[in-house]
């Protein structure tokens, strides 16, 4: 099996990423459809976002050992891009947010409720810092590392 995974690492990665992610989602769906007796909270869906990262770590470990895992994770800390790209990465979303707020005001005639920024699906209002941390860990690291 290891030889096949090494030869077909990209296919193996995708199959495993989907399997891990959908294991969480299927469990959630099965619970809420009454197919299983365990009551699973909707917030479990956030764990599905770790499927790509876990798959990348597992496949890297199988195909290249510890060195492969270290190489994968080291990419998180080595940022060799010009300063203008950092500025764009930080200021671009802020500019789009301001544009969206102004456009919302123009279209609806009212300012959007910015307190809603602290709400996460199925978790309620946990505050803006907590939401940002949640999204960074799940959709940032969980998906993007993969």
Q: What is the pLDDT of residues 81-133, one digit of tens each?
A: 899 999 999 999 999 999 999 999 999 999 999 888 899 988 989 999 999 99
Sequence-distant (≥ 6) Cβ neighbours of residue 71 within 8 angstroms: 60, 64
Question: Cα–Cα distance between 63 and 146 in angstroms, integer?
Answer: 15
- φ/ψ region of 112 (left if φ > 0, alpha if ψ in -120 to 50, else beta) reads beta
Average pLDDT over all residues of the chain: 92
Average pLDDT of 22-41?
A: 93
CB 48 within 8 A of CB 22: yes
**Whether the predicted pLDDT of 78 surpasses 90:** no
């Amino acid at each position: 099996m290891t030889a096949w995974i090494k030869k077909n690492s990209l296919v193996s990665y995708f199959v495993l990423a989907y399997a891990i992610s959908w294991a969480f989602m299927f469990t959630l769906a099965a619970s809420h459809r009454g197919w299983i007796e365990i009551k699973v909270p909707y917030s479990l869906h956030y764990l599905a976002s770790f499927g790509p990262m876990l798959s990348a770590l597992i496949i890297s470990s199988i195909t290249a050992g510890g060195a492969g895992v270290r190489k994968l994770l080291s990419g998180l800390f080595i940022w060799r891009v010009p300063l203008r790209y950092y500025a764009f990465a930080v200021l671009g979303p802020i500019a789009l947010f301001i544009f969206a707020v102004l456009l919302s005001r123009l279209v609806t005639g009212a300012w959007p409720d910015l307190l809603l920024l602290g709400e996460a699906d199925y978790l309620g209002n946990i505050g803006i810092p907590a939401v940002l941390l949640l999204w960074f860990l799940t959709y940032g690291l969980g998906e993007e590392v993969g």
